[in-house]
Amino acid sequence: QSALTQPPSASGSPGQSVTISCTGTSSDIGGYNYVSWYQQHPGKAPKLMIYEVIKRPSGVPDRFSGSKSGNTASLTVSGLQAEDEADYYCSSYAGSNNPYVFGTGTKVTVL
């Protein structure tokens, strides 16, 4: 199972928006509404930010939003803040044989 493809980096100034793409196939992103997004600060465990494409766990600011079109999912961070600077990973369910596949990761820099 190949990893999902993300851009290596993205950046924006405080208050701006940044959108990260996550491209898969019809066997993963395109086939299921089970896309999730994780934020990871250096030396820390990943933190769930979005699940089931568009849902936000309790405590995650509504500045974070998710979407999907075909085989590509996206995470948008609006109103960028300094603490949003981190690595972001997407993930998708990919069927019963190898259920979970992750993205290659995107480093978000707040300028």
Partner 1 sequence: QVQLQQSGPGLMKPSQTLSLTCAISGDSVSSNSAAWNWIRQSPSRGLEWLGKTYYRSKWYKDYAVSMKSRITLNPDTSNNQFSLQLNSVTPEDTAVYYCARDPRGGGYFDLWGRGTLVTVSS
Do 46 and 88 form a contact (C-beta atoms < 8 A)? no
Q: CA 69, 84, 89: angle at the middle one, nearest 5?
A: 45
- The one-character DSSP state at 98 is S
**Which residues, numbered 38-57, are part of the site for partner 1 (CB under 8 A)?**
38, 45-48, 51-52, 57
Does 36 help bind partner 1 (rule: CB under 8 A)? yes
Nearer to partner 1, 64 or 93 (CB): 93
Contacting residues toward partner 1, per CB under 8 A: 1, 3, 32, 34, 36, 38, 45-48, 51-52, 57, 89, 91-93, 96-105
